[in-house]
Structure 1
């Protein structure tokens, strides 16, 4: 199984701990809104043998990262995962700096604004601020979206070195399965436009009634790439709204938070 690493460095197999990676794959198998998964779910989503899944799930349960509900024979994420999440969020200075600006942005634009980073082949939301005055769509912290269909993922891909981006696109195409060629083509169109636009769009790509735009920037301290995105109902916020009103403001906010490249 090829690891979907978050680093852009080449994989050094001499240092790579396969057992640890497989254990983390089990934790990543949970999707937004899911509370319980069984061994069969883990096998299907990770591709690992059932015996391996049994051992990993037992170990993660002993360590406090999974909790077994014996009445249904399924596992839930336990407090160990929550502790790691809080440690990440509390250690992200940029998130604390960004929140008041995101609140102002969401209120003025009447949409949802989010901050995220890469997690394997997905983008994970670190925080989302929703407008209080309009019906907006915004995913909660911890939610994930594919790099291929989300504006956030496309923006992240756009600023990666060519060899890293090509490798990621190959993995994404393989993971997407049916319809992958069209998805990659749509993503590449937005990525190609980044040089001129300095942002990437997603118009009804991951949801029939969601339009979005995203802008990447580097954290001043850690130099990792984060991505700001803004999303809203396509029925009331058309493409022109995002291109002419939302995108310029989002790019300005990204420049305030870090190096937008």
Structure 2
């Protein structure tokens, strides 16, 4: 049975310090803008329509605030309102921003041929991602012809706690930043938060000796994965490479002995150590 792919983003008012790895100056932080972006982030992979009730539940914002934000985003072309269903869909404005990001990512262009060769060599899926709130968002995924992993694609999100990609990101954060993030992730995960944080912490602790983080059946019952972080040499942005495959045919030993060394070598070719 699948485990939750991502967590709900926290309110910008209560957790400014956990939304980014950089210090946040509250005097310059525009709360209204952050709330509007939280509405856009409320959409999950595969979802096309959300109503005001969905926005309220996922953002924690008052209904009146959600109404105003949704109306504004509709006027600006980031949301489209379906009057027949009384729900909102993402509109072309969001799509144009996504294309601008991907087309402007030189590292992604450089990484694609290496990722393609890697996927073919190990017979699995290899992905490149970065942080988005309390989740990791996939910028690109390339699969080998024989890979039988889940259909995660560009724009898909996974929780930092259960994904190898998220754990690798957390592993290279300053201790105080990591502690704040783990606390926020624990609260966002609800009743299972303490257990999930403990599982993630074990993998994070191994990063110093192994140079990578694993997720063995943690975010999906039949998926194993390993991830390695690196810094983009052009702008210093922290990116993460991951490789995933079916646990039924690619066990832990395969990832530790065969996949991880190759993935670490690929990360060194693409960027700098974080």
- Bin for the TM-score computed over the shorter chain: over 0.9
1:260 Cα shift?
A: 2.5
CA contact (8 A) 1:113 1:138 kept: no
Contact in 2 for aligned 1:115/1:128 (Cα 8 Å) = yes
What's 1:258 paired with?
271
CA–CA distance in 2 between the matches of 1:210 and 1:91?
31
Relative contact order, higher structure (CA 8 A, sep 6+): 2
What's the CA shift string for 1:36-90, capped at 9, x where partnerless? Answer: 0000000000001101000000000000000001010000000000000011111
Q: 1:189 aligns with which of 202, 213, 238?
A: 202
Structure 2 unaligned spans of 5+ = 1-10
Partner SS, residue 8 of structure 1? coil
Q: 2:222 aligns with which of 190, 197, 209?
A: 209
Shift of 1:189: 0.4
Aligned to 2:4: none
Give distance in 2, aligned partners of 1:203 and 1:41: 32
Query: CA offsets per residue over residues 180-212 of structure 1, 9 Å max, x none?
Result: 111001100000000000000000000000000
Corresponding residue for 1:105?
Answer: 118
CA spacing shift, 1:134–1:17, aligned 2, 3 Å: closer
The equivalent residue for 1:87 is 100
Alignment of 1:109-148 (within 5 A): 109-148=122-161
Tell me which residue corresponds to 1:21.
34
Show structure 1 runs of 4+ deviating over 6 A.
none
Distance in 2, Cα, partners of 1:94 & 1:6: 23
Partner of 2:189: 176
Given that 1:111 and 1:137 are in contact with CA atoms closer than 8 Å, whether structure 2 keeps it comes out as no
Aligned length, in residue pairs = 261
- Contact conserved, 2:147 with 2:245, CA < 8 A, in 1? no
Secondary structure, in 3 states, of the residue corresponding to 2:191? coil
TM-score in terms of structure 2 length: 0.93
